[in-house]
Amino acid sequence: MTSEVMIMNRQAVALAADSAVTYGGGPDPVVTLEAEKILPLNGSVALMVYSRGDVLGRSWSQIAHAFRQQHGSAEFESVAECAKAFFAFVDGNRKLFPEREEREEFEELMRAAFLTLMNHARAMASYPGAGYEDDAAAFEAALELYRSHLANDESGRPRADLEVFGHLTRERFYELYGAMLDQLIADALGAFGQEEAMRARLFDFAYMIVTKPAFLEPYAGLVFAGLGTADIFPVYVHHYASILVDGVMKRAHDETTAVGVDDGPNAFVRTFAQADMTHAFLRGIHPLMFDMMISMNLITNEAAAETALREAGLDDSKAGEVMERIGQSALPALTGHFIKASHQVSQEEFINPFIQVVSASGKRQIAETSKALVELNILKSSLHMTQTGVGGDVDVVMISQTGGVEWYARKA
């Protein structure tokens, strides 16, 4: 894990990060408290990285250093153009990322995917009353669950293919990795996996892992922040990135936010990765406590309704009918009103006053604020000893039109 905060207003953008990071995406990752997570890319744009700390064993600081050697003096019209140049530098860079190492990592990912499918199928088959005829039926059900997750987002809408893999047709993918996948399927499933229909579905599953914007594999969050030559106020661009396939980094754009322009906010705060205490400070309540309050509200509403029905003289049978009816509409609606009211109080009493202060702050004040918010999460980690991979010194960079990229705090 890690803890990072970004704060923007019209004056500057501040990036703050702890020094813990995980290297390696396999079963034995290494956590260090000496990581560099905030990486200047040129004089006015910096990259902040969280979650996975490397690509094929090359740390993001090594990659950013190599980028600066080639593009550090370049000026980009926008932060998005700088991000585009960064990814273009990574794609096809066989000096940094040899094809042999890329294939080895991809093979390990596919092996892990097939083993995960097998383990999930075994668990499904063991559920009481699962009703699967045999292990093959359970495996097919598990495969469809994963394929459905890759094909559709949480709301059920279809996921579009990633644009970066527009060149990677199924034919090209099978040509590159068909032999590898056949061997992995044979190792995991034996003769069952060689049936033509199952083999085609497994190949399609592997292809979707690569080309769909869902990250079953270890990934990194990349925060590009600063100003391009055409930007009046700070901008931030957020991407997710993971593996290299056919020389191209799998990546998906999450959001782009600019402050002080059009309908954009005058100030903006964004947390990344571990942020429980930051959220507690900003919203006035810890996320877990809020979840518990919602559950308790629903339970209390049900208990109150049952008591009222008995006081009204309804027998158990009639009270049960009424409870079943209101349990599907009225009671959830009441809890929904509670959630809405709680969010409104949080927004008006905690978030809005904080944003008002941030919007009027100078660059050093937002730098100090971002640092303090990260330190809250580190303090909780130290006292509770329940979070791993959060800690170390806090690095802070501030970026403005007047000063460009400046270090406010940097580990020794």
Write out pLDDT tens, residues 288-341: 899 999 999 999 999 999 999 988 988 888 888 999 999 889 999 999 999 999
d(CA 237, CA 47): 10
Q: Find out whether 210 and 174 touch, Cβ atoms under 8 Å.
A: no
Q: Which residue has the higher pLDDT, 398 or 274?
A: 398
Residue at 9: amino acid letter = N
Looking at the predicted structure, is the pLDDT value of residue 264 above 70? no
List the one residue out of 248, 136, 132 whose CA is nearest residue 193: 136
Residue at 111: amino acid letter = R
List the one residue out of 182, 361, 372 whose CA is nearest residue 277: 372
Looking at the predicted structure, is the pLDDT value of residue 122 above 90? no
What tokens were used for 129?
């009353």
> What confidence category does residue 245 fall into, taking pLDDT thresholds of 50, 70 and 90?
very high
Find the range with the poorest average confidence among 100-104, 167-171, 187-191, 260-264: 260-264
Q: How much of the chain, in percent, has pLDDT values that exceed 70?
A: 94
d(CA 79, CA 255): 12
C-beta neighbour count of 364 within 10 angstroms: 15
What tokens were used for 85?
């140049």
Looking at the predicted structure, is the pLDDT value of residue 159 above 70? yes
* pLDDT score, position 110: 94
Q: Find out whether 255 and 65 touch, Cβ atoms under 8 Å.
A: no
**Mean pLDDT on 154-169:** 93
**Mean pLDDT on 189-194:** 76
What tokens were used for 175?
């040509």
Looking at the predicted structure, is the pLDDT value of residue 34 above 70? yes
Q: Find out whether 114 and 198 touch, Cβ atoms under 8 Å.
A: no
Looking at the predicted structure, is the pLDDT value of residue 251 above 70? yes
Give the distance, in angstroms, between the CA of residue 65 and the centroid of all CA atoms in the same chain: 24
d(CA 232, CA 258): 10
d(CA 287, CA 293): 10
Q: Over the chain, what is the mean pLDDT?
A: 90
Looking at the predicted structure, is the pLDDT value of residue 386 above 60? no
**Mean pLDDT on 387-399:** 83
d(CA 266, CA 274): 25
Find the range with the poorest average confidence among 106-110, 389-393, 402-406: 389-393
